[in-house]
Structure 1
Amino acid sequence: MVAFLSAWPWDNLGIFKYLLLGPLFAKAFYPIIQEETLKFTWCLHILLIGFVRAYVYQLWTVFANMLFLTRNRRIVQQGVDFKQIDKEWDWDNFLILHSLIGSLACYLFPFHENLPLWNTKGFVIVLILHIGVSEPLYYWVHRGFHSNYFFTHYHSLHHSSPVPQAFTAGNATFLEHLILSIIIGIPILGACAVGYGSISLFYGYLFIFDSLRCLGHSNLEVVPHKMFEKFPFLRYLVYTPTYHSLHRSEMGTNFCLFMPLFDAIGKTLNSRSWELHKMMSLNAGKNSRVPDFVFLAHVVDVSSAMHAPFVFRSFSSTPYTMRLFLVPLWPITFMVMLAMWAWSKAFLFSSYDIRGRLHQTWVVPRFGFQYFLPFATDGINMHIENAILRADKMGVKVLSLAALNKNEALNGGGTLFVNKHPNLNVRVVHGNTLTAAVILNEIPKDVTEVFLSGATSKLGRAIALYLCRRKVRVLMLTLSTERFQKIQKEAPADCQSYLVQVTKYQAAKNCKTWIVGKWITPREQRWAPSGTHFHQFVVPPVLPFRRDCTYGDLAAMRLPEDVQGLGSCEYTMERGVVHACHAGGVVHALEGWTHHEVGAIDVDRIDLVWNAALKHGLKPVSSGKTD
């Protein structure tokens, strides 16, 4: 049984909890609808204040997760994982609570009527009451919540998040936020009670209060140490993210709300506070830990760019799908992408750890359609080359190319860069060997014939040569006899007869195993017999047109269970699942292989790479797999 007032009353409502604000919306907008003019009632002000407060927390979270700007300022280097994101999913419960309390207060105490827009004396009163009442009250209540009973039943939830972020500040029990409502309300109500209240006072105090809470929980040291060296007394008036982080690691210290003065008075000031803050501030300009592995991805389109971890943390933690709330943000996202193009470099988007090895995803700021424009080839290759050279200079061990970044027509599957820079220390990997292995291991062992489209592509060639060695008859769809014969000659002499050139889809009308490497229309799918399973390595995936057939996913693998700090989904993949080419780079790094994996796939290494992946705990993923 949960402790009294530890659970939120609307815990079971899910997204419907926002309906609790329905009466407030009705009260705020009814006069506007009736009079057809904008009328700022206090109900409307309460809603606007709630929106501004939510926006403050969102902006701080966006900034904290912009790793390409903030990676050297992070206090806790670990990434925010799915477990923490789910735990903090309802971080905004307190905003609903405060809005309801605010509307009730306005109804019971009509002090808000005829308030001026500004009153300077009100801000002075608020400052006095905050320092004299709210700060010490919070300090002693906070210390009380660290006693055995209250910490176990109430405060432990707040401390359960390993990486503090702005949303962590809102992740607390119902009782804690009820008390926080009182602490916030005392200065505002006090100023109004003595006749010095104003509209700007409500907005201003809550904005500053939330901004300071977000600052402390941001996990980024942004306060310069020189400020405290020039004005030492400020150490006791303004806390820092480093100061607050010590409270989370050494919980018997640094209990203050915003002012370390009260920790000094209560003798709970951590002696390392200023020393650690200076060290973190000095290290902000230095390079942080060098990743062992980098996955170089690219943007698919404008809407999918909003799936980046720093935009909406919760949205990024689920597989990408187009949502209506993304539409209004499309113009802003496009402008941001233009700015990134102008910056002309790959951006760090996410990071995670596997057994103490740091893995990062960098993104080339180019949309998918640009890769098919002939005049854009040189510019895209320049971006990729710069990213490889940057990784090489940093000391990265393996860099894996994603999807279109390794397009054969673009750069020969990475061969262009390896030939141009023969002395690279970073290993360039296209990861297609593992992609081929995933597809091949989805095919049942008793299959004797397959139909293969995209048969002369890099993956198609490797799949055909591997299957013919297993004595599987491969119907290779290609109009180029020359390319077919070139691949056929690579097969052992006793296996070449298993490779058969076909030029039409009709040739596969009796074959129930299709391997699709080239996009096929619903009309072309009609030639597949009932019960066919479509394996595929084509981007975008084929449409699941046939109800009497099954469709496999794009080749993917689930990362090892001991992965740490992973909190975003890779495009449409499920949590913890990455494309096989990404996984191929991971395996390359974990194995410590020192060769480049570029150009044509080495068929002899397919089983080797597959077994290495399984050895390191990676698992294949395919919802449409057949036995």
Structure 2
Amino acid sequence: MAALLATWPWETLGSFKYALYGPFLAKILYTRQEEDRSQAIWCFHILMLCVLRCFMYQSWSSFTNMLFLTRNRRILQQGVDFKQIDQEWDWDNFILLQAGLATLIYYMFPDLVNLPLWNTRGFIAVVLLHITTSEPLYYLTHKYFHGNYLFNNYHSLHHSSPVPQPFTAGHLTFLEHLIMACVIGIPILGACFLGFGSVMMIYTYVLMFDFLRSLGHCNIEIVPHQLFEIFPFLRYLLYTPTYHSLHHTEMSTNFCLFMPLFDLLGKTLNPKSWEMHKQFSINAGKNGRIPDFVFLAHVVDMTSALHAAFVFRSYGSMPFTTRLVILPFLPICFIVMLFMWAKSKTFLVSFYNIRGRLHQTWSVPRFGFQYFLPFAADGINKHIEEAILRADRLGVKVISLAALNKNEALNGGGTLFVNKHPNLRVRVVHGNTLTAAVILNEIPEDVTEVFLTGATSKLGRAIALYLSKKRVRVLMLTSSTERFLKIQREAPADYQKYLVQVTKYQAAQNCKTWIVGKWITPREQSFAPPGAHFHQFVVPPILRFRRDCTYGDLAAMRLPEDVEGLGSCEYTMDRGVVHACHAGGVVHSLEGWSHHEVGAIDVDRIDLVWNAALKHGLKPVSSVKQLV
């Protein structure tokens, strides 16, 4: 059983807790009587302050997770994983709590909150009251909560987040936030009781309080050490992210709210605080740890661009779906897209660790539709080439290309870059060998005939040749006899008879195993017999039109169980699941293979790559979906 006041009263409501803001909005919208107008104004300020506070924490979270800006300033290097994100999902409970307490204060002291817009003396009063009451109250209470009983039953929740984040600041129990409400409320109420209160004083103090809480938990050192060298006493008046991060790693030190002066007076100041801060500040401009593996991704469309972890962390931690709540942000995304098209370079999106090896995802600043604009090809290849050369300079061992970045028509599956730069130390990998292996291992062993679209593509060729050696008859849909014969001649003479050219979908009316490598319409799907299964390696996936057939997902694999720091989903994939081409690069890195994997797929390596993936703990992800 949870300790008293350890859980939130509205914990069972989930997202419906936001309905508790409804009375505030209703009061604003439906007030008509003169005597109720002051209540409406007070409700308006409460709601506005709640919105601004959420925006404050969200802005800090976005900045913290902009790894392309902050990667060299990180204090704790591990990533934020799904477990921490889920634990901190309801980080904003305290904002709702304090909104309710503010309303209670209004009804208790209606004359007290009839405030002017500005009062200069109020700012002075609130600062003095903060220093003399809030800081020592927080320090003593915080230190007390590190005692065995209170820590185990309450404060351990806050310290269960291994990597401090702005949202971690709100990750406390109900009891702790009641005390925090006193800490933030005493200076405001004190200034008002003294007759110095003002609307701007409340806004400024509350938002500055949230700003400094976010600063301490951001895990990014942005305070220059030179500031403390010029003004030494300032280090006791303002804490830094490094200072507060030490409290999360050495919990018997650095208990202060914002002012290390109270740790100095209480003899709990960590002696490493200033030296560590100086080191992180000095090293901020230097490259950090070099990744072993880089996956070079790209943006699919404007809605999926909002799925990045630095936009909305919680949204990025779930498989991508288009939601109505993100639609208002599309105009902003469109402007960013134009800026990226004109100026941006490849940027770091996320990272994770497998057995101590750092894996990073970089993204080319191009959206999916741009890959199909003829005039954009050279610019896209330039970005990909720059990313490969940058990885080579850094000492990255393997760089793997995402779907459109290795388009055959664009750069020959990466061949263009390997031929242009024959002395590359970094290995360029398209990962399609493992993609082929995943698709082939989904096909039941008793299948004797398959229908293959996209048959002369890179993947289609490899699948056809592999299956022919298994004595499976492959109906290859292609209108190009020349390309078909070229593939057929690659098969050993005894197996060439298993490769059959067909030019119409009607040829597959009796074939229940379809392998789709080229997008097919609902009408074309109608030629499949009832009970057919559609395997696919086509982007975007085909529409699930047939109710009497089943559909497979795109080829994917689940990363090993010992993956660390993974906190975002790869497009529509589930947590911990990546596209097979991404997984192919991971295997290439873990195996330490020294060859490039570009151009045509080596059919003889399909089983080798598959077995290597299983050996390293990657697992196939196969799901069969049927319309109901």
Provide the TM-score with structure 1 as the length reference: 0.98
- Say which SS state the counterpart of residue 349 (structure 1) adopts: strand
1:620 corresponding residue in structure 2: 620
Say which is worse superposed, 327-336 or 392-401, in terms of deviation.
327-336
Q: Secondary structure at the match of 1:365?
A: strand
Matched, 1:24 2:24: yes
- SS of the residue corresponding to residue 288 of structure 2 reads coil
Q: Deviations over 1:268-319 (max 9, x none)?
A: 0001110110001001011011111000011111111000010000000001
How many Å apart are 1:341 and its aligned residue?
2.5
Q: CA deviation at 1:331?
A: 1.0
Deviations 1:199-228 (A, max 9, x none): 001100001000000000000000000000
Corresponding residue for residue 46 of structure 1: 46
Q: Equivalent residue for 2:544?
A: 544
Q: Equivalent residue for 1:280?
A: 280
Distance 1:527 1:134 in 2: 73
Q: Show the counterpart of 2:485.
A: 485
Unaligned runs of 5+ in 1: none
Give a deviation string over 1:110-139, Cα, whole Å, max 9, x none.
144441111010111111110001100100
* Structure-1 separation of matches of 2:126 and 2:365: 47
2:428 match: secondary structure: strand
Matched residues in 2 for 1:366 and 1:222: separation?
A: 30
In the alignment, which residue of structure 1 is the partner of 2:270?
270
Quote the residue 1:514 is aligned against: 514
Partners in 1 of 2:575 and 2:117 — Cα distance? 49
Q: Give the Cα–Cα distance (whole angstroms) in 2 for the partners of residues 112 and 336 of structure 1.
A: 46
Aligned to 2:89: 89
Three-state SS of the structure 1 residue aligned to 2:83 is: helix
CA gap of 1:613–1:43, structure 2 versus 1, over 3 A, is same
| Equivalent residue number for residue 104 of structure 2 | 104
Structure 2: give runs of 5+ residues left out of the alignment.
none
In structure 2, distance between residues paired with 1:69 and 1:235: 25
Counterpart for residue 173 of structure 2: 173
Residue 539 of structure 2: SS of its match in structure 1? coil
1:83-109 deviation digits (Å, cap 9, x = unpaired): 000000000000000000001111111
8 Å CA contact 1:82–1:567 kept in 2: the answer is yes
How many residues are aligned here?
A: 625
Cα distance in structure 2, aligned partners of 1:476 and 1:21: 60
Shift of residue 344, structure 1, vs aligned partner: 3.7
Inter-partner Cα distance in structure 2 for 1:461 and 1:261:
70
Partner of 1:609: 609
Show the counterpart of 1:120.
Answer: 120
Gap change, CA 1:33 and 1:366, over 3 Å in 2? farther
Q: Give the superposition deviation at 1:39.
A: 10
* Structure 2 letter corresponding to 1:187: P
Checking the alignment, whether the CA contact within 8 Å between 2:341 and 2:365 is kept in structure 1 is: yes
- Please name the residue that 1:457 is paired with: 457
| Aligned 8 A contact 1:294 1:361 in 2 | yes
Instruction: For residue 154 of structure 1, report the CA deviation from its aligned partner.
Output: 0.2
User: Are the counterparts in 2 of residues 111 and 192 from structure 1 also a CA contact under 8 Å?
Assistant: no
After superposition, the C-alpha distances for 1:118-171 in whole angstroms (9 at most, x for unaligned) are 101011111111000110010000000000000000000000000100000000
Give me the whole-angstrom Cα distance separating, in 2, the residues matched to 1:63 and 1:2.
Answer: 35
Counterpart code for 1:382: K
| Whole-angstrom distance in 2 between the partners of 1:46 and 1:39 | 11
- Residue identity in the other structure for 2:584: G
Distance in 2 (CA, whole Å) between partners of 1:348 and 1:32 is 53
Change (3 A) 1:566 1:33: farther
Question: What is the 5 A alignment of 1:382-531?
Answer: 382-531=382-531
Cα shift readout 1:181-215 (whole Å, capped 9, x = no counterpart):
01111000000001000000110000100000000
Cα offset for 1:33?
11
What is the one-letter code of the residue matched to 2:290?
A: V
CA distance in 1, matches of 2:395, 2:343: 22
Give TM-score, length-normalised by structure 2. Answer: 0.98
Measured after TM superposition, the shift of residue 340 of structure 1 is 2.3
Distance in 2 between residues matched to 1:337 and 1:365, nearest whole Å:
8
- Work out the CA distance in 2 between the residues paired with 1:571 and 1:196: 53
CA contact (8 A) 2:116 2:199 kept: yes
Q: Which amino acid aligns with 1:388?
A: I
Match of 2:360 in 1: 360
- In structure 2, the CA distance between the partners of 1:70 and 1:530, relative to structure 1 (3 Å rule), is same
Cα separation, 1, equivalents of 2:440 and 2:540: 20
Distance 2:30 2:45 in 1: 14
Deviation at 1:21? 1.9
**More divergent stretch after superposition (320-329 vs 151-160):** 320-329
Higher deviation after alignment, 343-352 or 247-256: 343-352
Rounded to whole Å, the distance in 1 between the matches of 2:38 and 2:414 is 59
How do 1:359-378 and structure 2 match up within 5 A? Answer: 359-378=359-378
Distance in 1, Cα, partners of 2:182 & 2:416 = 65
- What aligned pairs does 1:109-148 form with structure 2 within 5 A after superposition? 109-148=109-148
- Tell me the equivalent position of 1:192: 192
Give per-residue Cα distances to partners, 1:361-396, cap 9 Å, x unaligned: 111111111111111110110010011001111111
* Aligned residue type for 1:266: G
Equivalent residue, structure 1, for 2:297: 297
Task: Give distance in 2, aligned partners of 1:168 and 1:385.
Answer: 39
Q: Is the 8 A contact 2:27 2:40 kept in 1?
A: no
> Could you tell me how far apart the structure 2 residues matched to 1:116 and 1:339 are?
43
C-alpha RMSD of the superposition: 1.5
1:343 is displaced (CA, Å) by 2.8
- Give 1:38 shift: 12
Give me the identity figure in percent.
74
Q: Structure 1 stretches (4+) deviating beyond 2 angstroms?
A: 31-35, 37-40, 111-114, 337-344
Structure-2 change in CA distance of 1:146 and 1:444 (3 Å): same
1:233 maps to what in 2?
Answer: 233
- What is the match of residue 325 of structure 2? 325
CA drift of 1:595 comes to 0.3
Which residue of the partner structure matches residue 261 of structure 1? 261
CA separation in 1, counterparts of 2:325 and 2:19? 18
Instruction: Give the partner amino acid of 1:296.
Output: L
Secondary structure of the residue aligned to 1:428 is strand
Q: Tell me the distance in 2 between the aligned counterparts of 1:34 and 1:111.
A: 16
Distance in 2 separating the partners of 1:156 and 1:340: 42
Contact kept, 8 Å, 2:134 with 2:184, in 1: the verdict is yes
Matches within 5 A, 1:55-94: 55-94=55-94
Structure 1 position 335, deviation (Å): 1.4
CA contact (8 A) 1:418 1:428 kept: yes
Local SS of the residue matching 2:31: helix
Per the TM alignment, residue 31 of structure 1 is displaced from its structure 2 partner at its CA by 2.6
Change (3 A) 1:558 1:625: farther
Residues 441-471 of structure 1, C-alpha deviation per residue, up to 9 Å, x if partnerless? 0000000000000000000000000000000
Could you tell me which amino acid in structure 1 is paired with residue 95 of structure 2? Answer: L
Number of the residue aligned with 1:183:
183
* In 1: Cα distance, 2:17 partner to 2:179 partner: 21
CA drift at 1:24? 1.8
Partner amino acid, structure 2, of 1:486: K
- For 1:39 and 1:463, locate their aligned partners in 2 and report how far apart those are by CA, in whole Å: 70
2:48 maps to a residue whose letter is L
**What displacement does 1:528 show?**
0.4
Structure 2: distance between partners of 1:332 and 1:40: 32
CA distance in 2, matches of 1:30, 1:182: 31
Change (3 A) 1:33 1:484: farther
> C-alpha separation between the residues in 1 aligned to 2:213 and 2:585?
40
Q: Deviations over 1:517-551 (max 9, x none)?
A: 00111101111000000000001111110111000
Contact 1:111 1:193 in 2 (8 A): no
Q: Give the secondary-structure state (helix, strand or coil) at the position aligned to 1:284.
A: helix
Question: Which SS does the other structure have where 1:554 is aligned?
Answer: coil
Query: CA-to-partner distance for each residue in 1:574-599, whole Å, 9 max, x for gaps?
Result: 00000000000000000000100000
